[in-house]
Amino acid sequence: MSLSPHSMVTRHPETPSQTGGPYVHIGLAPQQAGFDIFDNNFGNVLTTPETKGEHITLEGRVFDGTGTPVRDVLIEIWQANAAGRYAHPGDTQGRELDPTFRGWGRTGGDFDTGVYTFETIKPGPVPASNGGTQAPHILMVLFARGINLGLHTRVYFDDEADANAADPVLNGIEWETRRDTLVAKRSERDGRTVYTFDVYLQDTPAGGLETVFFDI
């Protein structure tokens, strides 16, 4: 029998994850599941007309290892406002809060096309862990049938090349060829700025490169 006090500091294991399953929309996006139940629904529009910053559309698709769109995916995003401030008490930077901007949204991929869409603003840069600055980015998490633990990734912007080149998280990816999988492509459509961000769960036969996923 050992006398070492092996359990004097108690830590409880995190509740294990399970897949969100194919009907994740019932709980998280009931209107997409096909019924109306709540007065106030959480959705994919993060902005009001008064929200400060450059209003953008973020859209794309998620692909499995064959290149088939994942049509039952549920996606959430989390981001800072245009001043680079998060709407959370842990953000004690002296930067301005935007009362019209929570910084969070969720949506499902379209059941036919797999396309997801968010209406948001381009975030400002926020501090890095080493005292430097991170390039503007949006955090994204994906849940779906077949995904046992939510997959975390980041969305950067292709018109921020200088900031991206100095970003500590991107630079922490040893394989330079993989960094581009996190950069959304800017275009204009009907006078609105659109960033396209496709996610590849695995390499695909048509040449899609697996997106970088993070253990945050």
For another protein, the binding residues in 70-129 under the rule CB under 8 A are 70, 72, 76, 78, 80, 86-93, 102-104, 111, 126-129
x-marked contacts with another protein along 37-56 as a string, rule CB under 8 A? xxxx----------------
Contact positions with another protein (CB under 8 A) in 54-73: 64-66, 70, 72
CA distances 84 to 94, 131, 152, 180, Å, are: 10, 15, 20, 23
The least CB distance from residue 116 to another protein, in Å, is 16
Per-residue contact string for residues 153-192; x = within reach of another protein by CB under 8 A: ---------------xx--xx----x--------------
Largest CA distance in the chain: 74
Q: 50, 188, 190, 215: which one contacts another protein (CB under 8 A)?
A: 215
Q: Does 197 sit near another protein (CB under 8 A)?
A: no
Q: Provide the minimum distance between the beta carbon of 187 and another protein in the complex, in angstroms, as a whole number.
A: 25
Looking at 142-194, list the stretches that DSSP marks H as alpha helix, in order from N- to C-terminal side: 161-165, 168-171, 176-179
CB of 160 to another protein, least distance (A): 15
- Residue 113: closest CA among 143, 76, 154, 73: 73
Tokens representing 126 are 């926020």
When binding is defined by CB under 8 A, the residue of 1, 3, 4, 14 that contacts another protein is 14
Is the Cβ of residue 58 or residue 169 nearer to another protein in the bound state? 169
What's the full length of the chain, in residues? 216
Q: Answer yes or no whether residue 31 interacts with another protein by CB under 8 A.
A: no
* CA R_g for the chain: 19
Cβ atoms within 10 Å of 38's Cβ, excluding its own: 8
H helices of 8-104, in order, are: 24-28, 30-33
